[in-house]
Structure 1
Amino acid sequence: MLSSVTKFLLGFFLAIAVLVGGGVAIALYFVNRTGIPPAKPVFSNDSPSVKAQAPKATEPGGGKPSLKPGNQAQSSPTSTSTPTESPKAATLSPKPLPSGAYRGRVSWAEGLSLRSQPNQEAEKIGGVGFNQKIIILSESEDKSWQKIRLEGSEQEGWVKTGNTEKVNEQ
């Protein structure tokens, strides 16, 4: 009789231990999954390079660029829809930096908001991703904002100081 009661109690406590252990394992799994931040989305108005990669509209089945009012079509059968500026862009040498400017990169892991004026309430005019190359043009009078230009672009704006770092040029 004593052995059957002992077996029952031992089985009961083992079942409770298995249920509690499984519950703790599941809880730890979900807690760890919610602690991982999701990937930062990239919107077309945040990055000018996304707009540049958008495909051009074509007429169905024709393969020719669609015409909008004001655009002129070339009647030459040998014309292509390839932009003529891409070879020029590859051969251009980088512009010299303005006086007092230096090259840098974004060191803030989440990227930065590019603002039109050096204050927190200013309009957001774009974004700058982590490790993106930039040119630091100047600082605000109180040294808490930096005016930057995106490398390879003419887009300029203001970001908070301390989120960029100078890159040594070779």
Structure 2
Amino acid sequence: MTKPIFLRRLSTTVQFILGFLLGIALIVGFSAGAIFLYYRKMSTLPEKPVFSKSPSSEELELNTSDSSAITEESLDTAIAKDEAKLAEKSTSATLEEEKQDEAAEVVSEPELPPNAYRAVVTWPQGLSLRAEPSNNAGRVGGVYFDDQIIILEDSADGQWQKVRVPGSNQEGWVKAGNTKRISEDESVDSDTSQDEEKLAAEPTTEEELELPANSYRAVVTWPQGLSLRAEPSINAGRVGGVYFDEQIIILENSADGQWQRVRVPGGNQEGWVRAGNAKRISY
């Protein structure tokens, strides 16, 4: 009786194992089939689309040539319009400049006050314009050697003269005895035009003929002016000075580039000044 029970239990166990294995085999088979179908579908190329009508090569060439011709015509038209606009702007700018020049000439040549007269600066280093007839008065500007000015009046002690700078109409006081009166027959405009013609034709002074090849003119930009020293050193002796806005001639730079050897026009005085305090004048 024990043996049949054992056989039944063994048969049940074997059936369970076979059923489990069969179930796993079915799951693996279905999974493999699904994966195969998926990859087969994904690897199949789609059908080539068919258009109703595609342009021929001749039509493409015609379209390309037409667009190129249109583009070239558009560019030519745009260039012509730009040139016309530039010509109009240039003409209007020229007319505007002429009007401004005429207006400037009218403004810069007011009538001289009674007893006023024109003069030229004779002091080689130029003159400082001061707010009052005193050495302690503030400096309001300056005039160069050989500049033309208008003498307005003399101070009570006769040591100073109130002057006006033509063009800018700037006024100030200068030391008397450093200007020379210009006769009424001499015209400021004629003198200026003659000087410009001479300068354009050739050098007019011995100083300009003696300028070294690498020298150039500059104007002092340091508000307090510059000291001229005998050597390129702050400890060197002072041999002179130049005012703010005064013209000088740069002759050379020191080896370290910190100093410049300069010449003062008119007096031909030379010395060293700190570099970076003068602006080159272009001609």
With the length of structure 2 as denominator, give the TM-score of the two structures: 0.30
Pick the structure with more helix per residue.
Answer: 2
With the length of structure 1 as denominator, give the TM-score of the two structures: 0.49
Pick the structure with more strand per residue.
Answer: 2
| Structure number with bigger Rg | 2
More relative contact order in 1 or in 2 (CA 8 Å, sep 6+)?
1
